[in-house]
Each structure stands twice: as structure tokens, then as C-alpha cells.
């Protein structure tokens, strides 16, 4: 095949079309198109389960040059519904590389597109918002434009979608505490990343990673030192079951920490609602203010939904959990980036202290979590 002949097209639900060349597996795929601005870390992005159901478009123009390896996997596979890049590297050049990205995309059946004007698509999404899209490559690229568009319009919307069952572990597994064990944490796997589990284990907790089908009763029977809700794909408004579970466990006095999807579900359990952002925050250079210290953290983010709460002042939990405040917010658009309860042991952040990829400015939150659990064990006498 010539390197310039188009044999793939990206079609957006508003009818806009971008012609390019096949990348990874050939075929057809649909999802919500979102852009991610990380200049590095494509492997971590691709294997972050939170991207399930999304066609991810990279704003960094050159992708694939460092290849893929087993060490940087954030989960067991690539989860994106599709992948769109400007310039796919034709060679791999890195001492850690074990395979090429093209090879992995193909192997895992991920349909991608390369050679499109990713800046134009990004600007389009930024002004029109995230929307449904399809990639048609190989034979599918030659289908009439109206047929392709009608298929995109039949695809699922991200709003209202529950994807937890698709990504969660089927069986419980345990990552043992590193060093001296100080307790155990029940981790609800809504799409957890490997780095997060490792950071929790490194703080001295046995990390029990649980399938999303687990019940509140089963968690309480484990008598964990704390409950953790992970990041994950889908619309938090479609996760009533997990909101109820969290509410029950919070009422039992178990300390809680949540990241990203976990932050949205804590928001809902406290009685706030969530809403869809126009195009979301995805990248590794997102500035966030920690209100308690006045410090700005540069954070790794990947979210399309957010908690709807005022960023100033002390709020009253509409669900009866006492006082709560927005602990962090985005300096780009004032979106809620963290919640802190003042009357129960619970907090959460919308961004990624585990980074992977991204800066480690907010890694201290895992220490804050450990300290909260230790302090609550001293006051309640409970620990496992």
C-alpha cells in the first residue's frame, strides 16, 4: 500500500469526515471521540480502562516511537474503542521497547487511523463538544458516506452508559502490603489501574481488588481498614448500585478514598449530582488548586463528567453525611477536582495521583489516605 493513499476515514456524528490511512486492525469501530493532550505516555493511556468506549485522538503529533512493553501496562489490555493519530512512527527506538504499537493495536483488534489532521479534529471537538464517531478502514472505508454516517448515528451515546462490568476483574485478587502491614483496603475495581493498586500496597495495605458485583455486606464482612473506589469508564449517573453500596459502607464508618470515577460516585453518595463536560479534561498538564494549602498541582487527568457542587465554602451533604467541601478545583475552568468530608473519614479526587502517565505532584494523596486510615483506627479501635 502507498503511504499516502487514503484507506481509512474518521466520521463524526455531525457529518464531518477526516481521511487517513488504516492503523492497527482494519475494520469498523464506534465510540465517543475525545482528545488527549499528553505528549508522552500513550501506552498508559491506551491501557487505562477508563477509556473503554472512547475513540482517543492524540494531540501529540508523533505516536509510537517508544514502542510498547510489559512493564507500562496499566491493566491487562488496550481498552480504547479506537485510536486516531497524526503521524504513526514507522520505527521503534527505545531500550525498553518489546513490541511496536502498531503490532499491539492489530493484535488486540483495535481499529485506528493515522495521517489525519489531529489539530483540526481537536479544534472541532473543542468548539462542538465530544460526540460519537466511527473509524472505517480497509474495505469499510469505501462504503458510501451516508451509510457510514447512519452507522455512527446508531452507535451508543456515552451519557447514560454503564461500562463497569466490561472492565472490572471477574475474581478478587490481592496485592500484598509492601513492608510492614498496617491494614487492608477493599478496592472496588471499576476499571482500576495497576499503579493505583501498587501505591496502596506500598503504603502498607493488603490491596484486595474486588469485582464490581461485590455487595456492601460482603465488604463489611471483610472488615477492611478502608474502602477505595477506582477510576473507570462510563457515566457516573448510571451507577446507582455502586452509589448505594458506598452510602451503606460510609454509614458503617469505614474510611473512604476515591479517584476519578470514585470521586464522582462519592459526590453522588453525598447527595450531589454529576454532569457531562463539553469535551472533558484529558492530559498530563492540568493545573489544579489544593484549597487547603494554596498550592497548584500539575495533574494527570482523564474525565468527561464532573461533580456539580459550588467550589467555595463549606457545604452540607444533601444525603446527610454532614459537612463537605470542594478540596481541589481546576484552574482552567473551575470544575470540581476533589471532595473532602469534614464529619466522616472520606475524601476523593477527580484527577490521578497515581499519574501513569504524568507528573507525581499529587502522589502525597496516598500518604494522606494512609494517615486518615491510621487516625480513624486509633479513634475507633478498628483495623484489620
Ligand X SMILES: NC(=O)CC[C@H](N)C(=O)O
Q: Which residues are annotated as a binding site for L-glutamine?
A: 50, 232, 234, 261, 264, 302, 304-305
Q: Does 231 engage in binding with ligand X (CB under 6 A)? A: yes
**Residue 15 — left, alpha, or beta (φ > 0 → left; ψ -120 to 50 → alpha)?**
left
**By C-beta, is 50 or 362 nearer to ligand X?**
50
Q: Does 148 engage in binding with ligand X (CB under 6 A)? A: no
Rg of the chain's alpha carbons, rounded to an integer?
21
**By C-beta, is 195 or 231 nearer to ligand X?**
231
Q: Does 222 engage in binding with ligand X (CB under 6 A)? A: no
Q: Does 260 engage in binding with ligand X (CB under 6 A)? A: yes
- Grid coordinates representing 379 are 479513634
- Grid coordinates representing 182 are 498496617
Minimal distance, residue 29 CB to ligand X, in Å: 19
Name the one range near ligand X by CB under 6 A: 56-64, 77-85, 135-143, 300-308: 300-308
**By C-beta, is 44 or 102 nearer to ligand X?**
44
Q: Is 328 a catalytic residue?
A: no
Annotated binding site: 50, 232, 234, 261, 264, 302, 304-305
Name the one range near ligand X by CB under 6 A: 2-10, 216-224, 298-306, 370-378: 298-306
Q: Does 351 engage in binding with ligand X (CB under 6 A)? A: no
State the CB neighbour count (10 A cutoff) for residue 320: 10
Q: Does 340 engage in binding with ligand X (CB under 6 A)? A: no
Minimal distance, residue 261 CB to ligand X, in Å: 4
Minimal distance, residue 360 CB to ligand X, in Å: 18
Q: Does 305 engage in binding with ligand X (CB under 6 A)? A: yes
Q: Give the one residue of 18, 199, 261, 366 binding ligand X; rule: CB under 6 A.
A: 261
Name the one range near ligand X by CB under 6 A: 91-99, 227-235, 244-252, 291-299: 227-235
CB within 8 Å of 358: residues ≥ 6 apart:
38, 41, 284, 299, 300, 352
Please report the DSSP string for 72-137 in residue order: T-SSSS--BSEEEESEE-SS---TT--B-HHHHHHHTT-EEEESS-HHHHHHHHHHH--EEEEEEE
Catalytic residue among 13, 26, 124, 260: 260
Q: Give the one residue of 132, 203, 303, 328 binding ligand X; rule: CB under 6 A.
A: 303
Name the one range near ligand X by CB under 6 A: 78-86, 139-147, 225-233, 243-251: 225-233
Place of cell 499503579: 195
CA-based nearest residue to 24, from 137, 148, 119: 137
CA distance 238 to 28: 27
In sign, the C-alpha dihedral spanning 236, 240, 246, 251 is: positive
Identify whether the C-beta of residue 358 lies closer than 8 Å to the C-beta of residue 41: yes
- Grid coordinates representing 271 are 447527595
Q: Give the one residue of 41, 183, 258, 304 binding ligand X; rule: CB under 6 A.
A: 304
Q: Does 233 engage in binding with ligand X (CB under 6 A)? A: yes
Q: Does 229 engage in binding with ligand X (CB under 6 A)? A: no
**By C-beta, is 149 or 346 nearer to ligand X?**
346
**By C-beta, is 168 or 231 nearer to ligand X?**
231
- Grid coordinates representing 359 are 507528573
Q: Is 260 a catalytic residue?
A: yes
Identify whether the C-beta of residue 39 lies closer than 8 Å to the C-beta of residue 359: no
Q: Does 50 engage in binding with ligand X (CB under 6 A)? A: yes
**By C-beta, is 29 or 130 nearer to ligand X?**
130
Q: Is 261 exposed, middle or buried (0-12, 13-18, 19+ CB in 10 A)?
A: buried
Provide φ and ψ at 341, rounded to 5°.
-85, 140
Catalytic residue among 124, 281, 303, 352: 352
> Which stretches of 211-336 are DSSP H helices?
216-222, 240-251, 261-269
Number of residues that bind ligand X (CB under 6 A): 11
Identify whether the C-beta of residue 31 lies closer than 8 Å to the C-beta of residue 53: yes
Q: Using CB under 6 A, list all residues that contact ligand X.
A: 50, 231-234, 260-261, 302-305
What is the set of active-site residues? 260, 352, 354
Amino acid at each position: 500500500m502507498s503511504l499516502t493513499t487514503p484507506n481509512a476515514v474518521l466520521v463524526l456524528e455531525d457529518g464531518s469526515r477526516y481521511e487517513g490511512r488504516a492503523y492497527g486492525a482494519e475494520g469498523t469501530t464506534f465510540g465517543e471521540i475525545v482528545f488527549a493532550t499528553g505528549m508522552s505516555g500513550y501506552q498508559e493511556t491506551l491501557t487505562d480502562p477508563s477509556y473503554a468506549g472512547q475513540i482517543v485522538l492524540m494531540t501529540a503529533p508523533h505516536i509510537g516511537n517508544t514502542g510498547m512493553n510489559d512493564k507500562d501496562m496499566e491493566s491487562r489490555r488496550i481498552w480504547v474503542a479506537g485510536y486516531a493519530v497524526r503521524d504513526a512512527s514507522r520505527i521503534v527506538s527505545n531500550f525498553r521497547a518489546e513490541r511496536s504499537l502498531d503490532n499491539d493495536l492489530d493484535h488486540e483488534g483495535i481499529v485506528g487511523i493515522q495521517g489525519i489532521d489531529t489539530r483540526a479534529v481537536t479544534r472541532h471537538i473543542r468548539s462542538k463538544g465530544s460526540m460519537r464517531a466511527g473509524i472505517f478502514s480497509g474495505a469499510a472505508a469505501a462504503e458510501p458516506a451516508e451509510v457510514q454516517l447512519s452507522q455512527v448515528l446508531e452507535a451508543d451515546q456515552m451519557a447514560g452508559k454503564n461500562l463497569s462490568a466490561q472492565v472490572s476483574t471477574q475474581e478478587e485478587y490481592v496485592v500484598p502490603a509492601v513492608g510492614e502491614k498496617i491494614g487492608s483496603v477493599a478496592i472496588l475495581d471499576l476499571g482500576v489501574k495497576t499503579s493505583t493498586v501498587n501505591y496502596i500496597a506500598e503504603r502498607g495495605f493488603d490491596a484486595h481488588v474486588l469485582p464490581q458485583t461485590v455487595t456492601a455486606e460482603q465488604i463489611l464482612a471483610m472488615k477492611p481498614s478502608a474502602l477505595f473506589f477506582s477510576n473507570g469508564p462510563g457515566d457516573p449517573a448510571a451507577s446507582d448500585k455502586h452509589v448505594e453500596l458506598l452510602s451503606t459502607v460510609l454509614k458503617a464508618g469505614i474510611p473512604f478514598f476515591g479517584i476519578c470515577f470514585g470521586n464522582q460516585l462519592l459526590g453522588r453518595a453525598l447527595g450531589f449530582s454529576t454532569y457531562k463536560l463539553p469535551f472533558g479534561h484529558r492530559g498530563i498538564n492540568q493545573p489544579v488548586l489544593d484549597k487547603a494549602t494554596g498550592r497548584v498541582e500539575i495533574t494527570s487527568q482523564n474525565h468527561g463528567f464532573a461533580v456539580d457542587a459550588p467550589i467555595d465554602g463549606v457545604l452540607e451533604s444533601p444525603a446527610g453525611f454532614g459537612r463537605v467541601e470542594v478540596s481541589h478545583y481546576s484552574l482552567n475552568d473551575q470544575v470540581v477536582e476533589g471532595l473532602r468530608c469534614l464529619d466522616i473519614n472520606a475524601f476523593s479526587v477527580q484527577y490521578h495521583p497515581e499519574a501513569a502517565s504524568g507528573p507525581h505532584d499529587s502522589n502525597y494523596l496516598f500518604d494522606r489516605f494512609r494517615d486518615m486510615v491510621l487516625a480513624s483506627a486509633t479513634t475507633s479501635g478498628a483495623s484489620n
